[in-house]
Amino acid sequence: MHQITVNDIVVDVVRKNIKNLHLAVYPPVGRVRIAVPSRTSDDAIRLFVISKLPWIKKHRTKLQTQERQPAREYVTGESHYYQGNRFLLNVIHENSKNKVIVRDKTFIDLIINKESTLEHRHRVMTEWYRKQLKEQISPMIDKWQKIIGVNAASHHIRQMRTRWGSCNVRTKRILFNLELIKKPTHCMEYVVVHELVHLLERLHNHRFISYMDKFMPQWRSYREELNRFIRDSR
């Protein structure tokens, strides 16, 4: 991959064994990426990007003006999201094992030592989120592998800035963004289906879309809902 600059917009260029050019703008900050056939010249790429500048600017503006959650301090009264719902954090100081409890569909209790630092509280919450996502996403993968007729070799959870998930078709290894646990369950399921379908079709082409329409007809609305959710600035 290398980069070109068009009208002060940095574009990541990836050359692949494909027939058409594929342009995308990724959250959270509007990173621009274009996949092109292997022998496409930089001049041809620049001309194509120039023709798409209004579209690029529209999507970047939309992403960059989305409401952001403030930086986390992990104190009582702070808003946190889980499964698409907003909860109020309730920090309880106890000299016991650190734990997190969802209570009354309103509160997330963070039980932690009084002397805990910001980074410690962040780490405890992050590991709880990771555990919840792992427990919830594994049954979804089992369910949809049977429906789609594929098998992933492994799946892992990672904090990612620009993708909800990714699939290495060669190794059949799938990664899921930790932030998915904060989104509605059906949005999480959409990402599971999306990544598993890549085991049938590597590219986001008409064949890929046809598979998505077949297995999850409402996937477009789920994708839109997922991408308009408030983003966390941490």
For the stretch 94-115, pLDDT in tens is: 988 899 999 998 999 999 998 8
Q: Which residues contact 18 (CB under 8 A, 6 or more apart)?
A: 35, 36, 37, 203
pTM to 2 decimals? 0.73
Mapped onto helix, strand or coil, the DSSP state of residue 114 is: coil
Rounded distance between C-alpha atoms, residue 82 and residue 129, angstroms? 8
| pLDDT score at 232 | 46
For residue 126, report the phi and psi dihedrals to the nearest 5 degrees.
-65, -45
CB proximity list for 77: less than 8 A, separation 6 or greater = 88, 89
What residues have CB less than 8 Å from 140, skipping those under 6 apart? 188, 189, 192
The mean pLDDT value for 130-149 works out to 97
Q: Where are the domains of the chain?
A: 2-65, 69-232
Q: Across residues 141-164, what is the average pLDDT?
A: 93
pLDDT at 44 over 50: yes
pLDDT in the model for residue 234 = 40
Q: Could you confirm whether domain 69-232 is CATH 3.40.50.1820?
A: no
Q: How far is CA 13 from the centre of its chain?
A: 21
Looking at the predicted structure, is the pLDDT value of residue 68 above 80?
no
Q: Percent of the chain scored above 70 by pLDDT?
A: 93
Q: Across residues 35-49, what is the average pLDDT?
A: 93
- Tell me the pLDDT tens digit for each residue of 178-191: 999 999 999 999 99
Other CB atoms within 10 Å distance of the CB of residue 198: 21
pLDDT of the residue at 139: 97
107 burial (CB, 10 Å; 0-12 / 13-18 / 19+) is middle
Average pLDDT over residues 50-69: 80
Provide the phi-psi class of 166: left if phi over 0, else alpha when psi is between -120 and 50, else beta: beta
Tell me if 123 sits within 8 A of 225, measured CB to CB.
no
C-alpha span between 179 and 61 (Å, rounded): 22
Average pLDDT of the residues of the chain: 90
Q: How confident is the model at residue 134 (pLDDT cuts 50, 70, 90)?
A: very high
Contact criterion met (CB below 8 Å) for 140 and 148: no
User: Average pLDDT of 33-47?
Assistant: 93
Closest C-alpha among 195, 73, 212 to residue 137: 195
Percent of the chain surpassing pLDDT 90? 72
Quickly state the pLDDT bin for 69 (edges 50, 70, 90). Answer: low
> 194: how many CB neighbours lie within 10 A of its CB?
22
